Structure 1
Amino acid sequence: MKKLWMAVALTLGVAVAGPKGVVMDFGALDTIEALGAEASVLALPKANTPEYLAKFNTDSYASSGTMKEPDMELIREKSPDFIVISGRQGAFLEELSEIAPVINFSVEGEYLTSTKQNILAVGKAVEKEPEALEAWNLLEEKIKKAQETARASGKSAVVILHNDGKFWASNSNGYANFIHNVAGVKKADTDAQEKGLSATSAYLELKNPDLIFIVDRSAAIGQTPMDPQHFTQDEFTAVNAVKDGKVIYLTPKLWYLSGQGLQSIERQLDEVLDAL
């Protein structure tokens, strides 16, 4: 019925509002903003909004629920033309698909290939596909330059996730994949890893990275953030990154709750490059 009404309205010359959607992935949301299509957004998980998207945390936009549990009643009431989800809402895919076409903004397979497809899909949903492609091409050039800068620096890194007082190092999770494979920073630990390793002083001394990047999950979700003095303890002083003041605290919500968007990728690249 909605498509029929739009066709009739166009025939009669009646002004028709653009497509409207519920956007539950912050990378998708920052992509929509970058494309100048904010008016397409009906609702988002406002309680978790990253600082750089604060303009959406107002009464102009409804709350779509939490990051893990959408408000299905509200989404039905909004009658969106499209819905964007992240992996956190994957369990609701089938139910949401009964309301409107769903774009899953999660990365599947190779990062850059999947991310480009997702950005173009969102661009198409808000009728900005050519603009999305142009923006992606510019971003891809910045990624290539970042990789050249990282390689030229010769610096190696360890990526650590903090959660509730525990520190886990990984060279293969999503954050590490971005820093090593997208931004091009060399791995201090080149061993294959199926899961994270405890980031003890012994481990860090053994791998001796030039840089330590930290994603603070606890801070991102509103719990007690890590102790900023943790890595200044005497047991870590032999580690190059600690000696050189290169323990980098990445913006928590940007890294843990967002990513893969036109703005978030650029912001993440900037944080990595600033550390080199």
Structure 2
Amino acid sequence: MKLNLKRLLLAPALAGALVLTACGDSGIDSADAENGATVTIETNNGEMEVPTDPQRVVALDNKSFEMLRDWGITPVALPKTLLPNTGFDEWREDDSILDVGTHREPKLELVSEAEPDLIIGGSRFTEFTGELSKIAPVVDVSALDDSEGGYIQGLKDQALALGQIFEKEAEAEEIVAELEVATEAAQDATNGESVFLAVVAGGKIDNGAGRIGRLLEGVNLKDVFAGDAGDVHGDSGLAPETIAQANPDWMIVLDRDSATAVPGEEAPQPAAAVIDAQEAFANTTFATKDQIIYLDGDFYKREGIESYTEAFQQIADAFEAANQSAQ
């Protein structure tokens, strides 16, 4: 049964409302927080005390990886399979960072072996929160589709919450501000045009609304299928001719194969090649006007606030360029 999750907006103006206390009866002993302090935040599992500036962190939520890296925080364990292909070689090749496997076959014994002060859970590892909580405090502030205010707001809340925990409030506020600037730019550049949200996997084009439909929260675009045709992980039978008949003005593409490609193995066919090969698209608006936006190749694994900031800026730039050409 799906939990009714309450979110707390951790805006900068409310930062002072977060309560710093000494470790007490919260279930966190003094070893969990080197400075002896905790911060009380609202998580997807309710309000909890979390040690500030934890020294040994297990990061399971892929949405947190880029923030931790950029803040100079190296996890003691994480699911290395979920690391984006670009920008994380140092973590991937560091044998001192334990690989806890995937959410399908997690190696919880390695999480315990890492002796964490804090576990950043949620996202793909949500169902293991109970077991993980027996090892160390688990904070789940991962953005959800039913986050209060929507997924994009959930990304902001997550960044601000992690900023409080790791004493990186200013950096978190800057990350949020960058997302807001990009979202505003995308909102201003779009004007109700129709769009097909595509996912390319296994050489097939399918409806990607289940994975990237969240982008519509920050733009003025209309999903040509309104999320009704197919799903993100399987072949829904959505034929290229069906897409062509809908004739969307734009296409935004998630290349799942690019993100899941295994280094050293034969690279899958790029999404652009799959789309270019479709004869059915020859006379569509998005093809004839070259109005196709390809998201970052690692988007499927990233999913965090940084990837959405980039995506909104991509959308803004593409639509501004198209608007200028039309003048």
Q: TM-score, normalised by structure 2?
A: 0.68
Conserved 8 A contact 1:30-1:264:
no
Counterpart CA distance in 1 for 2:32 and 2:82 is 37
Residue 141 of structure 1 corresponds to which residue in structure 2? 181
Counterpart CA distance in 2 for 1:67 and 1:225 is 25
Spell out, residue by residue over 1:106-156, the C-alpha distance to the aligned partner (whole angstroms, 9 max, x if none): 4142113322222222222222234323432343233222211223xx643
Spell out, residue by residue over 1:62-96, the C-alpha distance to the aligned partner (whole angstroms, 9 max, x if none): 13323323322221122112112343212211111
SS in 1 for 2:144: coil
Counterpart CA distance in 2 for 1:129 and 1:176 is 29
- How much does 1:3 deviate? 4.1
Instruction: Give the % identical residues.
Output: 23
Aligned residues: 261
- How much does 1:185 deviate? 4.7
Q: Could you say if the C-alpha distance between residues 2 and 44 of structure 1 is closer, same or farther in structure 2, counting changes exceeding 3 Å?
A: same
Q: Could you say if the C-alpha distance between residues 60 and 230 of structure 1 is closer, same or farther in structure 2, counting changes exceeding 3 Å?
A: closer
Question: Is 2:298 the partner of 1:258?
Answer: no
Counterpart CA distance in 1 for 2:270 and 2:132 is 36
Residue 160 of structure 2 corresponds to which residue in structure 1? 120
Q: Could you say if the C-alpha distance between residues 55 and 157 of structure 1 is closer, same or farther in structure 2, counting changes exceeding 3 Å?
A: farther
Conserved 8 A contact 2:255-2:297:
yes
Q: Could you say if the C-alpha distance between residues 23 and 61 of structure 1 is closer, same or farther in structure 2, counting changes exceeding 3 Å?
A: farther
Question: Is 2:81 the partner of 1:41?
Answer: no
Task: Name the amino acid aligned to 2:286.
Answer: A
SS in 1 for 2:120: strand
Residue 87 of structure 2 corresponds to which residue in structure 1? 52
Higher relative contact order (CA 8 A, sep 6+): 1
Q: TM-score, normalised by structure 1?
A: 0.80
Higher normalized helix content (fraction of residues): 1
- How much does 1:244 deviate? 2.1
Conserved 8 A contact 1:32-1:123:
no
Task: Name the amino acid aligned to 1:176.
Answer: G
Question: Is 2:212 the partner of 1:175?
Answer: yes
SS in 2 for 1:242: helix
Question: Is 2:17 the partner of 1:2?
Answer: no
Conserved 8 A contact 2:230-2:237:
no
Conserved 8 A contact 1:160-1:168:
yes
Conserved 8 A contact 1:24-1:64:
no
Residue 240 of structure 1 corresponds to which residue in structure 2? 285
- How much does 1:28 deviate? 0.6
Q: Could you say if the C-alpha distance between residues 86 and 101 of structure 1 is closer, same or farther in structure 2, counting changes exceeding 3 Å?
A: same
Counterpart CA distance in 2 for 1:108 and 1:188 is 17
Counterpart CA distance in 2 for 1:192 and 1:247 is 19
Q: Could you say if the C-alpha distance between residues 229 and 134 of structure 1 is closer, same or farther in structure 2, counting changes exceeding 3 Å?
A: closer
Counterpart CA distance in 2 for 1:3 and 1:146 is 45
Conserved 8 A contact 1:19-1:40:
no
Question: Is 2:260 the partner of 1:221?
Answer: yes
- How much does 1:237 deviate? 0.4
Spell out, residue by residue over 1:148-180, the C-alpha distance to the aligned partner (whole angstroms, 9 max, x if none): 1223xx64321111222332225x4230221x2
Residue 107 of structure 1 corresponds to which residue in structure 2? 144
- How much does 1:195 deviate? 4.6
Task: Name the amino acid aligned to 1:249.
Answer: Y
Counterpart CA distance in 2 for 1:210 and 1:220 is 26
- How much does 1:7 deviate? 5.9
Counterpart CA distance in 2 for 1:4 and 1:146 is 42
Counterpart CA distance in 1 for 2:33 and 2:154 is 34
Task: Name the amino acid aligned to 1:49.
Answer: L
Residue 93 of structure 1 corresponds to which residue in structure 2? 129
